[in-house]
Chain A
Amino acid sequence: MNMKRRVFLKGSLASGMVAVAVGAGLITPRQVLAAWPKEAFEAKNVNDAMKGIVGAELAPASDAIKLDAPDIAENGAVVPIKITAEMANVESITIFAEKNQTPLIASFNFSGNAQGYISTRIKMGQTSNVIAVVKAGGQLHSARKEVKVTIGGCGG
């Protein structure tokens, strides 16, 4: 059952969409964030997703980001995540789960008096790194943490 699904997905979806995502990523590396970035949310790997939403594939690790996530999540459908960015001028926080079918989970933009803090619950298909990318003062920073998932929460 599962194998068939893999093959089906690989054959029909992956090839087409990755090509679209990569193409879009190359042509417009910095997307306007006002519209919901479809390509980034449908990208099948972290690099494409990151390029689509924050405009770069890599972000240097930073100790100023605190990423709170459980070491082991029994239920991948509900993984509590808390991100605190202890830096000035936090513009956005973007969350990825490296091995999800579509790694980009959500992106939050901050303005006005909002602090660089977000807490939410995410779905994870399998054990993988959770990556938080913080944009502050025009610079990208990242933090990652591995979460072991016992039962996946993305499409069984």
Chain B
Amino acid sequence: MANSSIKIRAKVKGGVCEVKALINHPMETGLRKDKKTGKVIPAHYIQEVTCQHNGKDVVTGMWGGAISTNPYLSFMVDGAKKGDTISLSWVDNTGAKDSDEGEVK
């Protein structure tokens, strides 16, 4: 948990669960140049994000390099109850991946 790149907070309010997630990732577009060497910094960004509620897909995202560094993502799920599980996983363009889950509060 401590080393995960993902932080998830899910809270029920008025029957709707709001999920907020933060991911630690450089999200390098591949368009920037290193100021010292003048070389282009290679692209390194998350391409696919999958969010699940109790093991079922709710939101899936396809991202380009134009999502900000250390991406923030928030969405709403109807009918999620306290104690339910919200999980998030990502895959970047280098094939690296990570996933984590959080309990609805």
> Interface of A with B (CB < 8 Å)?
5, 33, 36-37, 41, 77-79, 97, 100-102, 104-115, 117-124, 153-156
Contacts and interface: CB of A to CB of B under 8 A. Distances in A.
A122 B65 CA distance: 9
A154 B29 CA distance: 8
Contact of B75 (A5, A106, A114): A114
B78 A115 contact: yes
Contact of A105 (B56, B60, B66, B69): B66
A124 B68 CA distance: 9
A113 B58 contact: yes
Contact of B53 (A33, A102, A113): A113
A97 B31 CA distance: 16
| Interface-centre pick from A78, A114, A118, A154 (highest chain B CB count, 10 A) | A114
Contact of B31 (A108, A120, A154): A154
Interface in B22-75: 27, 29, 31-33, 47-48, 53, 56-69, 71-75
Contacts of A121: 67-68, 71-72
B62 A106 contact: yes
B79 interface: yes
Given A112-B57, A114-B59, A155 B32 contact: yes
Interface of B: 16, 27, 29, 31-33, 47-48, 53, 56-69, 71-80
B20 to A, nearest CB: 8
B74 A120 contact: yes
B66 A155 contact: no
Contact of B62 (A107, A119, A122): A107
Contacts of B29: 123, 154-155
A37 B61 CA distance: 12
A121 B78 CA distance: 23
Contacts of B31: 101, 154-155
Nearest to A105: B66
Contacts of A111: 56-60
A93 B78 CA distance: 17
**A-B residue pairs, 6 tightest by C-beta:** A155-B31, A119-B74, A115-B76, A121-B68, A114-B58, A113-B78
A12 to B, nearest CB: 12
A93 to B, nearest CB: 9
